[in-house]
Each structure stands twice: as structure tokens, then as C-alpha cells.
């Protein structure tokens, strides 16, 4: 995998705060996987916001999820929603924030990270999902990105947190500052892995903002769109670790239109079944975040995704 140019440039953030910027340049700025073209004339830039007015007049379909928002990312408008600003527990959807921050804050995705023993004792105590890395293993950042998203590995997520900020506690501060900058007004993070905490909460509306933002990053989009991935070879894993996407393992081809870009699952007893996904239809991206489906052993969050996409697209 090729290394990417990690030079930093300032970039617009989504959120409720508006500002104008006068710029007279002709450039294509590339940073952290983003690309944006600045026109060669003075323009006024405004932080884009999700338009909360619902576009569709169709009745809401019957779904298992307690809340969902379907967003047309082309114009930041809500196509349909149910309980969009209701408090929910995000579970492993938290890892989307962990991964996008790690991408933005890492100068080199090939840089090696040593996974501390504390990571594994903490995750073992809390019976958390792991990607399969080992205590003391030295892993490139890129492998941790895939390990956090595809198998939803807490070991990968905490490794990224420690790499970026030195500790999970410090990284959580970064997560909350980023949420505020993006306009995620009803979100608060307490950990980087998505383990349940009563003080870690969000809304599906906020999580749609997060996913829309993250998908603009080329590296994040590549990771979340990948069905399978094999890590670099290491002493602990001579042939590398093989990851399969929890999303693509269960998603199917029943979309009436378009195709899946990718998705991230999130499940705890308290949260229920959560899902963030995106599809592309005729060049337009639609993002759906749902939460709180009952975990009865069926793929209720996936059934909801198919039902909602097919009802409105």
C-alpha cells in the first residue's frame, strides 16, 4: 500500500457554526486523504449542515430500530427519519470517530505502533471484541485502521488511541472536541472502543454527520468499503491476520437500486443492534444510521437497512 502525503492544511468542518472565508487561490489541497478544489476567485465558504426537514412524504415503514436517519449526502438533506434526536448508545459505531481521527492525526499510515499489555487486560476484563493482535506486537497504523472497522477490534481501536494521544483518556478528549467541531451537539464520548458507558451517548442524527464527514476521507472510505483484508506479516502472525467485514458478511444484494459502499456495526446489550451504512445510487451517496433494534438472533439491523433504502430510494 502506498504511503500518503500527510501534510496538513485547514479544512472546513460540518457543524452549526457558520463562518465566511475569503480566499484567492488556485489549488488542490490534499491532506489526510481529502481532496478539495478551491476556485480561482473569491468565494464565501460556509460550514455545511444537515437539513433536518424531511424530504419524503411517504409514511414510515415498519422497522425494528427505535431510531433512524436516512441522509441524501448530495445536499445534506434528511430523506426520512424516526427519533433522529433521541438519545441512543452508539456501541461500536464509536470506532468511526476513532478511525477518522487516527487517519487525520497520523503522519504516516505505515508507522509502527507497539500494542501495550494494558490494552489487552482491559479488553479481556470487559469481554470486548478484538481483531486478534497480540500484547507487545508492533503493528503499522494501516492494519489497526482495518482491524478497528472490519472485525470491530477493540485492540485495534485502543492501539490507535494510544498511538495518537498517548492514552485513551487523552484521545477521548480529542474525540469530544472533534464532535463539537462537527456540530454533533448531542454526543459525548468516554472511550475509543464503544464499550458501554452510561455517559457515552449520541443520536442517529449526530452519527449521520460523523459518517458523512468521514466518508469524504479517501482512506476511511477505502477501509469501510473493504470486505476482506490481510495484515502485514509479523512474528506473531507469520502469514498476517485475515479480517472479514462484519458488515459485508451479513449484508446482501436485496437493494432495489444502487449498491452498498460499506458500513459499520455496533452492538451491546444496552444499545441493541446499531448500523451505519452508505449506498450509492446513480452517483449520489445516501447514508443511513439506525439504532436500537432488538437483538433476537436475527439480522434486524440489516433488515431495517434494506427496508428503508428500498422504501425511499
Q: Tens digits of per-residue pLDDT, 169-212?
A: 999 999 999 999 999 999 999 999 999 999 999 999 999 999 99
- Residue 78: strand pairing partners: 54, 71
pLDDT of residue 34: 44
- Ranges of residues in the chain with a pLDDT under 70 are 1-56
pLDDT of residue 234: 78
207 lies in some domain? yes
40 is annotated as an active-site residue: no
Backbone angles phi, psi at 84, to 5 degrees: -60, -35
- Cell numbers describing residue 263: 458500513
pLDDT of residue 52: 58
- Cell numbers describing residue 92: 461500536
Show binding-site residues for substrate: 264
Question: pTM, whole model, 2 decimals?
Answer: 0.83
**Host domain of residue 180:** 51-312
pLDDT of residue 24: 31
d(CA 54, CA 160): 37
pLDDT of residue 161: 98
Show binding-site residues: 264
Q: What is the CATH number of the domain that holds 255?
A: 3.40.710.10
d(CA 119, CA 106): 20
Q: Give how many domains the chain has, as a whole number.
A: 1
Work out whether the CA dihedral 14, 192, 164, 288 comes out positive or negative: negative
The active-site residue, picked from 14, 32, 65, 95, is: 95
29 lies in some domain? no
78 lies in some domain? yes
Q: Tens digits of per-residue pLDDT, 100-127?
A: 999 999 999 999 999 999 999 999 999 8
32 lies in some domain? no
Whether residue 53 contacts residue 71, with contact meaning beta carbons closer than 8 Å, is answered with no
pLDDT of residue 56: 64
pLDDT of residue 47: 35
2 lies in some domain? no
pLDDT of residue 300: 95
The active-site residue, picked from 14, 32, 82, 92, is: 92
The active-site residue, picked from 152, 193, 202, 205, is: 152
95 is annotated as an active-site residue: yes
6 lies in some domain? no
120 lies in some domain? yes
167 is annotated as an active-site residue: no
Whether residue 211 contacts residue 287, with contact meaning beta carbons closer than 8 Å, is answered with yes
37 lies in some domain? no
Amino acid at each position: 500500500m502506498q504511503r500518503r502525503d500527510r501534510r496538513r492544511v485547514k479544512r472546513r468542518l460540518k457543524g452549526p457554526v457558520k463562518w465566511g472565508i475569503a480566499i484567492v487561490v488556485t489549488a488542490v489541497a490534499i491532506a489526510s486523504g481529502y481532496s478539495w478544489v478551491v476556485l480561482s476567485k473569491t468565494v464565501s465558504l460556509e460550514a455545511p449542515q444537515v437539513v433536518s426537514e424531511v424530504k419524503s412524504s411517504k409514511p414510515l415503514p415498519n422497522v425494528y430500530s427505535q431510531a433512524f436517519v436516512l441522509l441524501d449526502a448530495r445536499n445534506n438533506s434528511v430523506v426520512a427519519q424516526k427519533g433522529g434526536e433521541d438519545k441512543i448508545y452508539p456501541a461500536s459505531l464509536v470506532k468511526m470517530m476513532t478511525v477518522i481521527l487516527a487517519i487525520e492525526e497520523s503522519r504516516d499510515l505505515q508507522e509502527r505502533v507497539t500494542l501495550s499489555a494494558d490494552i489487552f487486560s482491559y479488553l479481556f476484563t470487559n469481554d470486548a471484541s478484538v481483531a486478534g493482535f497480540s500484547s507487545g506486537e508492533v503493528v503499522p497504523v494501516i492494519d489497526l485502521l482495518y482491524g478497528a472497522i472490519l472485525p470491530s477490534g477493540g485492540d485495534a481501536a485502543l492501539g490507535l488511541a494510544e498511538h495518537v494521544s498517548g492514552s485513551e483518556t487523552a484521545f477521548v478528549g480529542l474525540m469530544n472536541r472533534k464532535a463539537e467541531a462537527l456540530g454533533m451537539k448531542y454526543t459525548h464520548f468516554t472511550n475509543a472502543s464503544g464499550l458501554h458507558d452510561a455517559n457515552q451517548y449520541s443520536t442517529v442524527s449526530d452519527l449521520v454527520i460523523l459518517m458523512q464527514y468521514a466518508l469524504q476521507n479517501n482512506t476511511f472510505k477505502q477501509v469501510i468499503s473493504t470486505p476482506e483484508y490481510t495484515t502485514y506479516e509479523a512474528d506473531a502472525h507469520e502469514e498476517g491476520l485475515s479480517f472479514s467485514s462484519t458488515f459485508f458478511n451479513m449484508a446482501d444484494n436485496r437493494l432495489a437500486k444502487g449498491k452498498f459502499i460499506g458500513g459499520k456495526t455496533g452492538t451491546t446489550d444496552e444499545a441493541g443492534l446499531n448500523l451505519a451504512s452508505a449506498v450509492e445510487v446513480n452517483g449520489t451517496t445516501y447514508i443511513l444510521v439506525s439504532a436500537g433494534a432488538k437483538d433476537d438472533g436475527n439480522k434486524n439491523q440489516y433488515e431495517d437497512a434494506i427496508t428503508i433504502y428500498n422504501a425511499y430510494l
